[in-house]
Amino acid sequence: MTEKFKILVTRKWPKKVEEKLLTTFDTTLNVEDRPLSEAELVEGMKSYDALLPTVTDPITDKIISTSNKKVKIIGNFGVGFNNIDIDSAKRNSIVVTNTPEVLTDCTADIAMLLMLGVARRGSEGEFHVRKKEWTGWRPTHMMGTKVTGKTLGLIGMGRIAQAMAHKSHFGFNMKIIFFDPYFDNDEVVKKFQATKLNSIDEVLSQADFVSLHCPSTKETKGLINKETISKMKKSAYLINTARGDIVNENDLVEALKEEMIMGAGLDVYEKEPSVHKNLVQLKNVFLLPHLGSATIETREAMGMRVFENIQAFFNNKEPIDRVV
Ligand code: DGY
């Protein structure tokens, strides 16, 4: 029998995918679902052929550059790969893959939930009922903001933004405006009758809902701060399903307290899993714990995508989702 490749899975994965990994490779699972320490990851680099982390495992230069390493491929469970030091992976000739496409719709669904949830005061209403504070229907009770027909401003026009544009335009008759210097697909623009704007500021000043869909990079970190928020309409809402550090959370809290904007719907945070202590005190926010891709169907599909990537690699083929 030929020797099986050794695989280290850093967190608990959907059962179906774990079973597939176990039958194909010499797989070490994380049954306790405990985050692995840097020291454990360094050790992992030395004794496994592939490391399968998730978006919450920081795969630093120290881990990647470990001497006497055996790992040749890092198959990230997630489309975002800002948890991995990509330059270090390049320098160390380690292949990195991610999981695009399979989570597009579910993440866009969560963006819709945040938009509707914050505009229609979903959290507040739910707590009101649960705490038995509701005294009955009345004309001025818990009035929110109408979503249908409003303007959605997208920062970034990748797959998830396009899926949100589709749902918003065709489902909620929303006008779509966006900023994305790298996007150049007239067909898509035509399909959503969208308007491509030349600057972020134009999107911020015209949108009723601003939804973030750019990756976390040196350029986008802290992109949403007190100054950029001041460009938004006072009646507007901020939606974030991308990465928490694109928003300066301190500034957002201040802006929400000062009612510079109406509210925010957030699925991602600057220092996950900790959430700014003042953010959770605010009423004009709708907060979820990074649930964008959290459906059984999507998480299984993400796992299968990682499986396909590493299987291709070990069969000397090009992994479909190779990042470097
Ligand atoms: C990703 O894949 O990057 C997501 O944030 C996980 O839901």
The CATH number linked to 304 is 3.40.50.720
Q: How far is the CA of 78 from the centre of ligand 1 (A)?
A: 5
The DSSP string of 204-223 is: HHH-SEEEE-----TTTTT-
Q: Is 320 a member of any domain? A: no
**Domain count along the chain:** 2
Rounded to whole angstroms, the Cα distance separating 98 from 80 reads 7
Task: Tell me the pLDDT of the chain averaged across its residues.
Answer: 97
In this structure, are 138 and 270 located in the same domain? yes
Q: What are the start-end ranges of the E strands in 87-160? A: 95-97, 151-155
CA 188 remoteness from chain centre: 22
Q: How do strand 195-196 and strand 209-212 relate by DSSP bridges?
A: unpaired
Segment 286-314 mean pLDDT: 98
Q: How far is the CA of 137 from the centre of ligand 1 (A)?
A: 39
In this structure, are 114 and 258 located in the same domain? yes
Ligand 1 within 6 A of CB of 292: yes
Letter string b/e over residues 112-147, b meaning 16 or more CB atoms within 10 A of that residue's CB: bbbbbbbbbbbbbeeeeeeeeeeeeeeeeeeebbeb
Q: How far is the CA of 80 from the centre of ligand 1 (A)?
A: 6
Angle between helices 159-166 and 104-119 (to 10 degrees): 50
In this structure, are 168 and 270 located in the same domain? yes
Give, for ligand 1, the residue of 107, 214, 309 to mutate: max count of ligand atoms closer than 8 Å to Cβ: 107
User: Whose structure tokens read 């507040």?
Assistant: 124
In this structure, are 115 and 241 located in the same domain? yes
243 is catalytic: yes
pLDDT score for 225: 98
In this structure, are 241 and 301 located in the same domain? no
Q: What are the start-end ranges of the E strands in the chain? A: 6-9, 26-28, 50-52, 73-75, 95-97, 151-155, 175-179, 195-196, 209-212, 237-240, 263-266, 285-287
In this structure, are 157 and 179 located in the same domain? yes
pLDDT above 70 covers what percent of the chain? 99
Name residue 65's amino acid: S
Ligand 1 within 6 A of CB of 80: yes
pLDDT score for 263: 98
Segment 171-196 mean pLDDT: 97
pLDDT tier at 2, thresholds 50, 70, 90: low
Residue of 11, 121, 213, 243 marked active site: 243
Whether the predicted pLDDT of 157 surpasses 80: yes
Whether the predicted pLDDT of 84 surpasses 60: yes
Q: Is 200 a member of any domain? A: yes
pLDDT score for 182: 96
Q: How far is the CA of 142 from the centre of ligand 1 (A)?
A: 33
272 is catalytic: yes
Q: Is 1 a member of any domain? A: no
CA distances from 218 to 157, 214, 246, 266 (A): 19, 12, 10, 21
In this structure, are 74 and 173 located in the same domain? no
Whether the predicted pLDDT of 191 surpasses 50: yes
Q: How far is the CA of 110 from the centre of ligand 1 (A)?
A: 12
In this structure, are 78 and 138 located in the same domain? no
Rounded to whole angstroms, the Cα distance separating 22 from 33 reads 17
276 is catalytic: no
Q: Is 255 a member of any domain? A: yes
Ligand 1 within 6 A of CB of 103: yes
**Three-class SS state of 261:** coil
CA 83-89-95 angle, 5° bins: 100
pLDDT above 90 covers what percent of the chain? 99
Question: Which atom of ligand 1 has the smallest separation from the CA of 268?
Answer: 5
Rounded to a whole number of angstroms, the CA Rg of the chain reads 21
In this structure, are 85 and 188 located in the same domain? no
Q: Is 57 a member of any domain? A: yes
In this structure, are 23 and 108 located in the same domain? no
Whole-prediction pTM: 0.97
Structure tokens, 31: 């049954």
Q: How far is the CA of 214 from the centre of ligand 1 (A)?
A: 12
Residue nearest to atom 2 of ligand 1 (CA): 78
In this structure, are 305 and 281 located in the same domain? no
pLDDT score for 36: 98
Q: Is 220 a member of any domain? A: yes
User: Whose structure tokens read 């006008």?
Assistant: 175
pLDDT tier at 3, thresholds 50, 70, 90: confident
Rounded to whole angstroms, the Cα distance separating 236 from 57 reads 34
Task: Please give the residue range of the domain that contains residue 10.
Answer: 6-102+296-314
pLDDT tier at 93, thresholds 50, 70, 90: very high
Q: Is 323 a member of any domain? A: no
Whether the predicted pLDDT of 171 surpasses 50: yes
Q: Is 322 a member of any domain? A: no
Segment 226-240 mean pLDDT: 98
Segment 225-247 mean pLDDT: 98
Question: Which atom of ligand 1 has the smallest separation from the CA of 290?
Answer: 7
Residue nearest to atom 6 of ligand 1 (CA): 78
Residue nearest to atom 7 of ligand 1 (CA): 293
Residue of 40, 43, 254, 272 marked active site: 272
Whether the predicted pLDDT of 1 surpasses 70: no
In this structure, are 203 and 213 located in the same domain? yes
Segment 135-158 mean pLDDT: 98
